[in-house]
A and B are shown apart, each in its own frame.
Chain A
Amino acid sequence: MSKLLRRALKISIVPAILLIAGKFIGILCTSIIYNLNFQISNDLNGLFSVQIYYPDASTTLFVNSISNLVMILFVALPLAYFIIKTTLYHTIAHNPRTIVKMTRFNMLKWITSKDTSFLTMFIWCAFLWIASGVTIAHTLQGSTYPWVGIVAGSVALIASLFTIKTFEIETDNIYPTEHKYY
C-alpha cells in the first residue's frame, strides 16, 4: 500500500469522527440546555431507520441550525489551528520578527513541521466542505436558518483559500520560483 494512501487514511479518521460527534453533541446540548422534548424512533422510509423527532417545526429548525453550526465549528477550529501553525512555520524562515513575537507569547512549541503538510489541510478542508455542503443544502430546504448557511459557505471559502495558499508554499519548496531562490 502506498505511503500517501496510508497517511490519508490515518488523517481522515479524526475529522470523520468529529463531523458526526459535532452534529450529535449539537443536538444533545441544545435539547438539554433549552429543555426540549425529543424522541428517537424508527422510520423505515429513509436509508437509516433511526430518526430524531421534535414536536414542532420551529424547534426542529432551531435545533438543526445550532447542531449544524456546532458541526462546522468542530471541523473548522482544528483546521484554523493547522492554518495558523503552517503560516507561522513558513513565516519564521523569512521574518525573524515573528520568532521574537512568538517567544514573547511563549508559542515557540508551535514552530514544528508536524500537522503542517498540505495533505492534512486538504483532508480537513474536504470534511469542512462536506459539513458546509450539508448545512447549505439544509438552508435551501428551509430546515436551517439562512445566516447559518451563509456562515458555513464563508468559512468553507476562506479555508479553501488558505489551503490553496499552503499548496502554493509546498510546490514552491519542490519547484522554487526563480525570483525567490536564485
Chain B
Amino acid sequence: MPNQNAQKFKKVLSLVVEPIALGVLALLFIIPTITVMNLSPITKKLQELNVLGANTQATVSITLVGGKHPILTEENLNKASDISYEYSTQITGRGADSYSKPIVEIKNNTDKAQKISFYGQTVNQTQSNIFLRTDRDEAIKKIQDDRGQTYTQEITIDPSSKIVVFLSIENLASVNFSTEFDLQIKVIENL
C-alpha cells in the first residue's frame, strides 16, 4: 500500500512539475532575448556631474531632436564653443509643398532670460523659403528666401524653460537635387 501511495504521489508531482519546467525552459529563451535587447546602448547626451552627483550646469543647452524625415536627412549638431552650435542637414529632392521637422531642443537652465540667434543657408540655391518656428507660438522666422537672401533671427527663452525649434521648407516648384543646409545657433545675451 505505501508503495502504491508513493507512486501515486510521484505521478501527481510530475503532472504539476512538468508544466512549470516547460515554463522555466521558455523563460530560459525569453529572458536572455529581452536582456540582450535591453543591453543595446542608445544615444543620449551624457550628464555632467560633480563629485556630489548634483548637476551644477547652469547654461543654455541645445540638443538634437533626431528621428526620421523623408526630406531632412543626415542631421548633425556640433558644439563649436560654450555659446555656439552648428546644425547641418541634407535637404533631399522634393515635390512642390511645405515640409517641417523639429530639429533642436533648447533648454535655458539659467535664472535669466536668454537671447539665441540663428543664421543659416543652403549650399546651393533651391528657390525655396526656409523658416524657423517654435512650439511656443505660431510666429515664423525667415532664415532664407527663394532668391537666396539670408536673414538673422533671434528667439528669447524664459529662465528655466525649454523650446523646440522646427525647420520649415516651402517650395512652389519641385526640386530634383539634394543640398546641404547649415545653421549657426548662438547664445548672444543674458537678459
Contacts and interface: CB of A to CB of B under 8 A. Distances in A.
Q: Do A and B come from one complex?
A: yes
Interface of A: 1-2, 5-6, 8-9, 12-13, 16-17, 19-20, 23-24, 27, 37-39, 41, 46-48, 50-57, 59-60, 63-64, 67, 71, 126-127, 130-131, 134, 138, 143
B123 to A, nearest CB: 22
Interface of B: 14, 17-18, 21-22, 24-25, 28-29, 31-47
A53 B41 CA distance: 6
B25 A5 contact: yes
Contact of A2 (B18, B32, B39, B47): B18
Contacts of A143: 40
Contact of B32 (A20, A41, A63): A20
Contact of B41 (A6, A9, A54): A54
A35 to B, nearest CB: 14
Contacts of A138: 40
A106 B23 CA distance: 43
B25 A47 contact: no
Nearest to B44: A53
Given A1-B14, A5-B18, A39-B47, A19 B41 contact: no
B39 A16 contact: no
Contacts of A41: 44, 47
Q: What does DSSP make chain B's interface, helix, strand, loop or mixed?
A: helix
Given A1-B21, A5-B22, A134 B41 contact: no
28 contacts: A2-B18, A5-B21, A6-B21, A9-B24, A9-B28, A12-B25, A13-B28, A16-B31, A23-B39, A24-B39, A27-B41, A38-B41, A41-B47, A47-B38, A51-B38, A54-B41, A56-B43, A60-B43, A63-B41, A64-B41, A67-B41, A126-B29, A130-B29, A130-B32, A131-B36, A134-B33, A134-B36, A138-B40
A57 B43 contact: yes
A25 to B, nearest CB: 11
Which of B24, B32, B38, B42 has most A Cβ within 10 Å?
B32
